[in-house]
């Protein structure tokens, strides 16, 4: 039974716990055992909180025995990205500069997970300060893709994505700034959602780029992602960018799984040169399948999407250069050179030199340059103008169609080490995902098959207007249902590696 528990969906685990078929403690222990078994290969976690997780599970079991009401995900284990604060666990953001730091408070999302009875197993690996597309930028070593341990699990939420794909946890939390939920979800063969910006609280999220950062769910099914989306979302007065509106009906949409009469636009700019042939083949098959399910599919041009990548790599580093100024060796975290002789300025310089990795330094320098006197208007200002044009492209598209679709990422998972010395090649992994972050609208990645060249997962992305997150779940669930009928089961069942 213990092995079977790690194979169940989150929705099924919640039902098993609620019925008493298995206790929350049994479910949690089964996943902790799975972590022990596969972590030497996957390295998805930076911190495993076994005792705390079992204590939380005991509380769920006590409430059930007392007849107290349980939430829809009570007793379900979860892997939490190490960028959200936890008062009972370290929060490092994958960086040496915060190694060992234990925050004095929980992030709003952490609080909501605990209140829902969700069991936090620990904190997952990530690209340092969420800057990367492979998890290779972590100061604590890379995570590995459960489908092929020689490949990356994507990034920056690669640890959470790998944990879900390897059945170490049925649910994960990631953050999406330029694609850091959807891209790792795609290459690990799972579901990943970027909610509408402001739909999930950023309070307690260590900031990379404040106008872009969006926490969201990772799961093995669309319904599980929707259940987690609903549990973690909602207005938060402590986050000034939080949307004061009801959470879209994402769970109902995931259960609807019907696209008949829906207008779907295929983004013309996201195909052709630079895209792996197997990715395009699986995507095109999925488009035909959606059409056969009753959707009206048309091609839609969003001409300014081609400028999203350069605009993003001016806006995000500019915000990062400001946000990361707080890591100054004076208040918390690493401190180097504090021997009573060095000045405060020297301590700060030495600490940042030792504490930040190469990619973080690269982006701080890019952002500082873009914001500097004489260059602000030419670079940062122009990038913000492009951002406006991209938003207008979305507005025009959504006057014609209900949702837009594209491949989630141009290629399947690439080998570890292949792109570490080529930042531009690394950045291209987020080519399709960045526009939704710049515009702040909703998007999801859902598995759509395996590329014939390498047998690795391919993701299809669904994009919808802001606060129309339910549309993304409706399309994703319909595609998931139709594809599983064709495959004879979930995509992960086809995995030859650990993801089974």
pLDDT at 479: 98
pLDDT in tens, 12-56: 999 999 999 999 999 999 999 999 999 999 999 999 999 999 999
Residue 368 lies in a domain: no
Residue 323 belongs to a domain = no
Task: Supply the pLDDT for residue 1.
Answer: 58
Residue 350 belongs to a domain: no
480 pLDDT above the threshold of 80? yes
* Per-residue pLDDT reduced to its tens digit, 364-391: 999 999 998 888 888 999 999 999 999 9
In a domain, 221, yes or no: yes
* pLDDT score for 341: 65
Tokens describing residue 495: 């995995």
CB 463 within 8 A of CB 403: yes
309-348 core/surface letters (b: 16 or more CB in 10 A; e: else): bebbbbbbbbbbbbbbeebbbeeebbbbbeeeeeeeeebb
186 belongs to a structural domain: yes
- Give start and end residues of each alpha helix (H) in 257-329: 277-292, 308-323
**Residue 417 CA to chain centroid, in angstroms?**
22
Calpha distance 78→125 (Å, rounded): 14
- Asked if residues 347 and 329 have their Cβ atoms less than 8 Å apart, the reply is yes
pLDDT tens-digit map of 324-356:
999 988 888 888 887 776 788 888 888 899 989
Dihedral, 462, 468, 473, 475 alpha carbons, nearest 10 = -50
By CB neighbour count within 10 A (0-12 exposed, 13-18 middle, 19+ buried), where does 7 fall? Answer: middle
CA angle, corner 176, sides to 200 and 272, nearest 5?
135
Residue 309 lies in a domain: no
Reported as a pLDDT band with limits 50, 70 and 90, residue 493 is confident
The residue ranking higher by pLDDT, 496 or 165, is 165
pLDDT, average across residues 103-112: 97
- Residue 226, domain extent: 2-304+388-494
Which residues form the catalytic set?
A: 81, 156, 180
CATH code assigned at 143:
3.90.1300.10
Which residues sit opposite 462 in a β-bridge?
Answer: 405, 444
- Token pair of 439, please? 């515009």
What CA dihedral angle connects 45, 492, 77 and 32, to 10 degrees?
A: -60
Beta bridge partners of residue 123, listed in sequence order? 47, 80
Whole-number pLDDT of residue 500: 59
DSSP 3-state assignment of 299?
strand
Number of compact structural domains in the chain: 1
**pLDDT at residue 3 in the model:** 64
pLDDT digits 0-9 by tens, 219-277: 999 999 999 999 999 999 999 999 999 999 999 999 999 999 999 999 999 988 899 99
Q: What is the DSSP letter of 479?
A: H
90 has a pLDDT exceeding 80: yes
Average model confidence (pLDDT) for the chain? 95
CA angle 338/340/345 to nearest 5° reads 60
Q: Is 123 helix (H, G, I), strand (E, B) or coil?
A: strand
pLDDT in tens, 59-87: 999 999 999 999 999 999 999 999 999 99
- Local confidence band at 438 (pLDDT 50, 70, 90 cut-offs): very high
């Amino acid at each position: 039974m213990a092995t079977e528990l790690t194979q169940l969906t989150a929705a099924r685990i919640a039902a098993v716990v609620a019925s008493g078929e298995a206790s929350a403690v049994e479910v949690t222990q089964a996943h902790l055992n799975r972590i022990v078994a596969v972590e030497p290969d996957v390295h998805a976690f930076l911190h495993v909180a076994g005792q705390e997780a079992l204590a939380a599970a005991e509380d769920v079991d006590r409430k059930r025995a007392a007849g107290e009401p349980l939430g829809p995900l009570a007793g379900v284990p979860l892997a939490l990205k190490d960028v959200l604060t936890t008062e009972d666990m370290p929060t490092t953001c994958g960086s040496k500069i915060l190694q060992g730091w234990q925050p004095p408070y929980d992030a709003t999302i952490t609080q909501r997970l605990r209140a829902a009875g969700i069991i936090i197993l620990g904190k997952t690996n990530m690209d340092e300060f969420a800057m990367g597309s492979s998890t290779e930028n972590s100061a604590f070593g890379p995570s590995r893709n459960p489908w092929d341990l020689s490949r990356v699990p994507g990034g920056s939420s690669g640890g959470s994505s790998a944990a879900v794909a390897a059945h170490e946890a049925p649910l994960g939390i990631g953050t999406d700034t330029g694609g850091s939920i959807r891209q790792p979800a795609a290459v690990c063969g799972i579901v990943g959602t970027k909610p509408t910006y402001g739909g999930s609280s950023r309070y307690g999220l260590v900031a990379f780029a404040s106008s872009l950062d969006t926490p969201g769910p990772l799961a093995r099914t669309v319904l599980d992602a929707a259940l987690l989306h609903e549990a973690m979302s909602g207005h938060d007065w402590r986050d000034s960018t939080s949307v004061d509106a009801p959470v879209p009906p994402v769970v109902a949409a995931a259960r609807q799984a019907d696209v008949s009469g829906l207008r779907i636009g295929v983004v013309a700019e996201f195909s052709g040169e630079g895209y792996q042939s197997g990715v395009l083949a699986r995507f095109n098959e999925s488009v035909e399948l959606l059409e056969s399910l009753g959707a009206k599919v048309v091609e839609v041009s969003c001409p300014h999407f081609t400028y999203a990548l350069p605009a993003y790599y001016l806006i995000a580093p500019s915000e990062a250069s400001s946000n990361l100024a707080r890591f100054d060796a004076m208040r918390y975290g690493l401190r180097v050179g504090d021997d009573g002789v060095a000045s405060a300025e020297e301590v700060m310089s030495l600490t940042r030199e030792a504490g930040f990795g190469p990619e973080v330094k690269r982006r701080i320098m890019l952002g500082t340059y873009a914001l500097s006197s004489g260059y602000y208007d030419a670079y940062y200002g122009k990038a913000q103008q492009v951002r406006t044009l991209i938003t207008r492209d979305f507005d025009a598209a959504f006057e014609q169609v209900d949702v837009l679709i594209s491949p989630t990422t141009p290629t399947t998972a690439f080998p570890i080490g292949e792109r570490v010395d080529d930042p531009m090649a690394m950045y291209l992994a987020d080519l399709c995902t960045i526009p939704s972050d710049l515009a702040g609208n909703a998007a999801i990645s859902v598995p759509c098959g395996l590329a014939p060249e390498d047998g690795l997962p391919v993701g299809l992305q669904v994009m919808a207007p802001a606060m129309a997150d339910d549309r993304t779940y409706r399309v994703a669930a319909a595609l998931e249902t139709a594809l599983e009928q064709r495959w004879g089961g979930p995509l992960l069942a086809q995995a030859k590696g650990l993801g089974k």
